[in-house]
Amino acid sequence: MIVAEFITSAIDAAGFPKERLRELACVGRSNVGKSSLINALVGRKVARTSAAPGKTRLANFYRVTPDGRSAFHLVDLPGYGYARGGEAAAREFEALTGAYFGARSGMFLAGVLLLVDGRHPGLESDRQAWNWLQHLGVTCHVVATKVDKLSRTNRVRHLKELERLHEAPVGAVSVQTGEGLKELWKTIDTLLRQPLTEPGHPPR
Ligand code: GTP
Ligand code: MG
């Protein structure tokens, strides 16, 4: 049993929850499946999803308590690459994600799940996001989404390509078939067990 509840939506740092829990943030292009994956992980529809990109515009915090383990925050951040809002939306996105990582990395953030569409490995925007996360020094696990939509050949090819780009194992998930969710929970548990480092204070 996993208990999951919506805590709050924040538009800026003032709205982030005060409760000091470990956090795991979902990052990725708009429409890649961040909110859907959160729902699939907790086994309940806590996050709103949509076939149209740009659904999640705020930072949404969920408090998740897996059976017999400590509670943590799962954070659904707005997606990047949502064209319709133009410059203003891009600035809004940058301000909010910048504020999020500024306020939370080190103190709270145990890791980031960087979601990339399994059908489109190596997109420029995803590579930029990955580089940016590397630069911040946050632990980042890449997850390929929507793998139910891939042919067997492309599946192998795309996952290999992603692992080559990120020089790390890449998870493959589908919220349609449930594939990869168990494995992803194992990765999440490992991320949550890591000691947190404060910015400017490397681990001893
Ligand atoms: P934003 O909130 O706009 O940033 O998007 P998001 O990343 O939260 O995407 P969301 O979870 O809303 O999903 C976008 C669309 O992709 C929805 O229509 C989902 O049903 C669909 N989708 C998500 N995951 C999968 C998957 O594993 N397989 C398939 N076939 N569709 C998926
Ligand atoms: Mg969303």
pLDDT tens profile 60-76 = 999 999 999 999 999 99
Residue 201 domain flag:
no
Answer yes or no: are the C-beta atoms of 32 and 74 closer than 8 Å.
Answer: no
Residue 199 domain flag:
no
Residue 31: name the closest of 49, 43, 11 by CA: 49
For the CA of 145, the closest atom of ligand 1 is 27
pLDDT score of 198: 55
- What is the domain extent for residue 158? 3-193
Structure tokens at 151: 């042919």
pLDDT score of 106: 76
Residue 198 domain flag:
no
pLDDT band for position 80 (cuts 50, 70, 90): confident
Residue 128 domain flag:
yes
Highest mean pLDDT of the ranges 44-53, 77-86, 172-181 = 172-181
Answer yes or no: are the C-beta atoms of 72 and 22 closer than 8 Å.
Answer: yes
As a whole number, mean pLDDT of residues 40-51 equals 94
55 CA from centroid of ligand 2 (Å): 5
Task: Please say if the pLDDT value at position 203 is more than 50.
Answer: no
**3 state DSSP class of 146:** coil
As a whole number, mean pLDDT of residues 164-183 equals 96
Highest mean pLDDT of the ranges 65-69, 136-140, 181-185 = 181-185
Residue 66 domain flag:
yes
pLDDT band for position 1 (cuts 50, 70, 90): confident
As a whole number, mean pLDDT of residues 129-144 equals 94
Count of domains in the chain?
1
Residue 10 domain flag:
yes
CATH number, domain with residue 45: 3.40.50.300
172 CA from centroid of ligand 1 (Å): 14
For the CA of 76, the closest atom of ligand 1 is 8
Task: Please say if the pLDDT value at position 84 is more than 70.
Answer: no
204 CA from centroid of ligand 2 (Å): 37
pLDDT score of 90: 79
Residue 186 domain flag:
yes
**3 state DSSP class of 129:** helix
32 lines ligand 1 (CB under 6 A): yes
Residue 200 domain flag:
no
Helices (H), 31-180: 34-42, 86-104, 124-136, 152-166
Q: What is the percentage of the chain residues whose pLDDT exceeds 90?
A: 77
Cα(191)–Cα(172) distance, integer angstroms: 17
* R_g over Cα of the chain: 16
Residue partners of 21: CB distance under 8 A and separation at least 6: 63, 71, 72, 73, 108
